[in-house]
Amino acid sequence: MIRKLICGLGNPGKKYVNTRHNLGFMVIDRFYMECEGAGFVEKWDSKVAMVKFRGIEVCLQKPQTFVNLSGVAVAGALNALSLSSEDLLVVHDDFALPFGRVRVSYDASDGGHKGVRSIISELGTKRFSRVRVGIGSDGGSSEPLEDFVLSSFSAKEQASLHQVIEGAVLATEIWLLEGVRRAQDAVNGRFFVDEPSCSPQDGETDGRKEVR
């Protein structure tokens, strides 16, 4: 019996594969490597895989609706699996966090992320967990936000991207095994690159206080 839904946000299609907005997909693909189970199949406007992680049955989801309509796919999967929002973990890029930072939050606002906004709208609640993976640029970017998130990582970022993904996978594993508070304690406030590309930005908060 599937107990949890872990959804990574991104856009379908080869042109988006290595873009910042597809970081959620990258984390799901890496976490999948730690699991036992079948491969991804097309279902619920998504690519999904039914897997086991240390004995826990989980559905991994990569919505194929494009980021801004992610809520349609997530709501459909939760309904089909008879799960509640409390059983959901959403993994996504976050411009408000510097590259290298991973933060776990719960019952939090969308923070300007349209995919998260879509999920909140479709579910009618913010009461779900998130792994937010920082993509904020060094010193800010002159690009419009829409262009920045759809562009590829810089060469410097590419060199340490695997460390960031591993940090997000760690957060995902702890959330699944021990819950949101333990995941927050483990990763919030840490950098997963050797040299942070920038300092924490204004408005960055400790996700722990967002737990109700």
* Catalytic positions: 21
What residues pair up with 157 in beta bridges, in sequence order?
none
In which element (H, E) is residue 95 found?
strand 88-98
Contacts (Cβ under 8 Å, ≥6 apart) of 82: none
Structure tokens at 54: 């240390």
Of 44, 69, 61, residue with least CA distance to 122: 69
Torsion angle, CA of 23/207/182/55, rounded to 10 degrees? Answer: -40
What residues pair up with 80 in beta bridges, in sequence order?
none
Structure tokens at 45: 């406007």
Phi, psi of 86 (to 5 degrees): -65, -20
